[in-house]
Structure 1
């Protein structure tokens, strides 16, 4: 079965990277653990907050892999404890976010079971480029002069 693409139009050229990003998002969006918030701090700053109660900073890794922010978490199982009832499972997680070009992780902190990851990017003014439109008269005056045929008759 052929998959329909959002970017399958002949008017949408060069958007393959976006299509790949959407594929990655759809693969990782199925698991809801850990829950997270995305908060806008300023025009060029975001904060992602993940609820990671029970995890220490040594139990987690925050990495950038090919324009993806990837957070891994795995709790170490303490074999010295004897549980009469274990309702809180030692769980692992893998959460990823696709980052746009230019987005940088400015820091990560763990506070009261919440992992905060701060993102920022430079503010870029939109670039506008005007292309000159030449008329037929202008085009003729810019043409190169015809080269003479320098044959043996000269």
Structure 2
């Protein structure tokens, strides 16, 4: 597992304050429920896994709007029993994840208490860098000669 010293990284960057603030906010442990992992599975593909023991797929809502992914869960119709010990937490939750630009949700599956969300970064063609050819005076005269010879 990698750990990053963000204050040291922050000193060597200019103009990336918003990005670093988002990363720093994501590392603050103010709400650990439900626990989740973010994993890079390819060059432009990511997987978010949330541990949701006790929940069913119909208890979970996933919403993606622009660059924000919201996962909410509320246990429906759970009766309070006479527990001697209750160690499995089934509290209602709301997890908000800030996504980078052009991130699209491709798939969501729920299996064995683990919610898996697959994300793909898809940059539109108009936003991708393109190569520009440079035409110099030497190239123009050569093209003109070839056209006249034909």
100-109 or 25-34, which moves further after superposition? 25-34
Larger radius of gyration: 1
The Cα shift of 1:93 comes to 1.1
Tell me if structure 1 keeps the 8 A contact 2:22–2:98.
no
CA separation of 1:89 and 1:101: change in aligned 2, threshold 3 A: closer
Size of the aligned set, in residue pairs, is 119
Compute the TM-score of the two structures, normalised by the length of structure 2.
Answer: 0.62
CA RMSD between the two structures: 3.3
Hey, which bits of structure 1, 4+ residues long, moved more than 6 A?
Answer: none
**Distance in 2, Cα, partners of 1:72 & 1:19:** 25
Alignment CA distance shift 1:112-1:85 (3 Å): same
Structure 2 Cα separation of the partners of residues 48 and 102 of structure 1: 16
Q: Secondary structure at the match of 1:63?
A: strand
* Cross-structure match for 2:18: 19
Pick the structure with more helix per residue: 2
Q: Which runs of 5+ in 2 are unaligned?
A: 1-9, 134-150
The secondary structure found in structure 2 opposite 1:96 is: strand
1:40 maps to what in 2?
Answer: 40
